[in-house]
Each structure stands twice: as structure tokens, then as C-alpha cells.
Structure 1
């Protein structure tokens, strides 16, 4: 069985996601009878982008941080894109909730 961990792919590096529901077996072979999901990454990107998302809960615990720096440069016959992602989620313990 083959699988891919999509959490290892920084979301800011994704340009678009294409979903082919059925009939893709002519292009992708017999493994694609049920459908195909294509994740298309950015190719030509000039500039830098930093996305920071944080969150917390009202009753304590569960703090989250998500940092995604991305950048790229494009020349006449070349392009380079880089993307990083850092995520951290704090645990929520039973003693932090009144109903537990």
C-alpha cells in the first residue's frame, strides 16, 4: 500500500489542487480508476512571504503556533522556490477542563 503524508508539504508551496473524480485511468493507468488528486506546487514566484498563525483556548492548554516562511526568485531560464513550515500544538490535559 502506498500513501503520502500531506502534512510534510508546506501549504504555502501549493499553487493549486486538482481533483479528477473518475476517468483518469487513460492518463494515469489502472490505479486511477476511482480518481486522482494532483497537488501542483509553485514554480515561478518572486518575493518573500511569512505567514504566522497562533491560537489558544479559553480554558488553558491547546496553544498552537504555525510559522510558514516562503520565498522565490525567477530568471530568464530558471526559477527557485523554497518553503518551510514550523507547527507546534500544546496538549490539553484533563485537569484543564471542568467537565473531566
Structure 2
């Protein structure tokens, strides 16, 4: 996959980052370098490799999965700019 100047401009717009027109070719090159590195990583054989949480073997701390701080709906919604029927109400952002 190759990123051109127009795609870099679109990504910048979606990320809400202002990029000057003359900086777009360099940004496209950076995106292409990142994608190239990702393609290199895809070539690594990781079959049989266990996921790690650290470079040293360790076990994650466990806790009992129980509710310790519930039933505070009124307190949580008190600061909401708009709450309806016990939920946060947000304006529609996708058309």
C-alpha cells in the first residue's frame, strides 16, 4: 500500500491536524515508511510465541470481580450537560 499526497491530506484532516501544503509530500513519505515497517513485522514468524506482559516472567495480580462502588447513577449524571432517562445524551455526530 502506498500513501500519496492526497491521502496524507485526508488523514491529516481526519486527525484534525493542520498540515501545510508543502509539508504533505514529507508526511506521505513518513506514512509509507511506517507502513513499510509494519509489513516487515508481518513477516516475523510468531507461531508458538506466548504473549508477554513483561520481559521477565511474572503473573498479573488477580482480584475478585465484584461491584464495590455502584448505585450512583444520580451522582454521575449530575455533571452531564444533557441526561435523559438515566443516560448521557450526546448530539448526533455521524450523518
Task: Give the structure, 1 or 2, with the largest relative contact order (CA under 8 Å, sep 6 or more).
Answer: 1
Q: Which has the higher strand share?
A: 1
Q: Which has the higher helix share?
A: 2
Same fold (TM over 0.5): no
Pair member with larger Rg? 2
